[in-house]
Amino acid sequence: MGRGRRRRSALILGALLAVGLIPMAVSGARVAWASSGRTYDVETVPPRDVGMVLGAKADEGRPSAFLAARLDLALELFERGRIKAVLVSGDGLARANHETDVMRDYLVERGVPADKIVADPAGFDTYDSCVRARDVYGVRELTVITQDYHLGRAITVCSMVGVDAVGVGDTSMLGRFPLNWLKGAGREWAANLKMEWDVASGREPQTDPPDSSLMRAVEA
């Protein structure tokens, strides 16, 4: 009797694991397929008018190491002429230490002209950033800039909402902060499922009127 209960419990547990793991595997395969051939380094990425830096943790008045690494990539892409303007997208509220202000100031301090940077303070997650790049700032193609473990999903999300995206990913943080890197990479499995829900549901991010500042930055 005891063995029978244990067997039923094991079967139930196995079924529950399958219910969770199969969607994760399918979503992971989608990300791998959608981003295939679209990830580059700074030397080989095709030129695009806009580079979008996705936000990450900011301390008061300065970016975290992970965010600074993303911004350094954007700086290098700008200096190499691979992008003409930078869209910094993140949480611009006080709760996040005004993330997008920190991002903009970091780039300006390192030589990117202020009129070449546009901040989207309502890019609260990757989906919001991609949809708002399309709907608010009129972007149809861009280079997305983030950590390497996040890059595939970022490219996929943008592509799924109609923005032709390629990307450049930072790998320097793996050597400096391996545990943080592995933690971030591990979260991608669940984040992939959220991506599927966001896109399928057509969730609307914060809605703002069309803003031509990014197109003006490209032309400046």
Q: What is the pLDDT of residues 168-212, one digit of tens each?
A: 999 999 999 999 999 998 898 888 888 889 998 999 999 999 999
CA distance 34 to 7: 40
The letter for the amino acid at 138 is G
Per-residue pLDDT reduced to its tens digit, 57-80: 999 999 999 999 999 999 999 999
Per-residue pLDDT reduced to its tens digit, 11-42: 554 444 444 566 666 667 777 787 899 999 99
What is the DSSP secondary structure assignment for residue 116, as one 8-state letter?
G
Model confidence at 113, pLDDT cuts 50, 70, 90, reads very high
Per-residue pLDDT reduced to its tens digit, 133-169: 999 999 999 999 999 999 999 999 999 999 999 999 9
Residue-wise burial string across 173-191, b where 16 or more C-beta atoms lie within 10 A, e elsewhere: bbeebeeebeebeeebeeb
CA distance 188 to 183: 9
CA distance 137 to 210: 6
Which residue, among 133, 164, 172, 170, has the nearest Cα to 52 in the 3D structure?
133
The pLDDT of residue 71 is: 98
State pTM to two decimals.
0.88
User: What residues contact residue 123 under an 8 Å CB cut-off, 6+ apart?
Assistant: 54, 55, 89, 90, 91, 100, 129, 132
